[in-house]
Amino acid sequence: MSPKQRIPVLPYARVAALALVALVLVVAGVRASWGTAQHVLLSEGRVHGTMTVTGCGDEVCTGRFVPDGPAAPPRTDMTIARSVAVEEGGRYEVVVKPDTTEAVRTGWAGGLHAWLPLGGALLLASLVIGGGLRWTRAAWASGAAGGAVLVASFLML
């Protein structure tokens, strides 16, 4: 085979490897977000109510949960993940994870907070897409979507 007939494989391998890295970042962001987001998005048939936070530890806050309607009696053993959005004495609309004592915030604030890992993953993927693959439009779209999720979550919380 003469040198002119060889197919350059290295550029295709580079594109494939960087595309795989970007895909892994986004899939990891979706997977990290879905654990909480599924309870916010698919909350029909789950116990809804209001939680008043009475105390906070290092990772979780506890409080009194009052369900909407006659679904169940009020409970005092409910927990919610501690974040900058949860403070002692605050009242939050929540949905209870099935078969647990863990609550997740609902509404726009809860939904955006649940998708924060995906927003960060999209921002990181935009660097790989723009810097490594040189796909500037896709990089700007990914970065804008990730940044929008992060900024909207910050403003809602």
The architecture CATH gives domain 44-105: Beta Barrel (2.40)
pLDDT along the chain (157 residues), means of 10: 71 93 97 93 89 91 90 84 84 91 90 94 97 95 97 89
pLDDT at 8: 83
Mention every residue, 6+ apart, whose C-beta is less than 8 A from residue 82: 56, 57, 58, 59, 60, 61
Residue ranges covered by each domain of the chain: 10-40+115-156, 44-105
The pTM score is 0.83
Q: What are phi and psi of 102, to 5 degrees?
A: -100, 135
Supply angle C-alpha 42, 91, 62, rounded to 5.
85
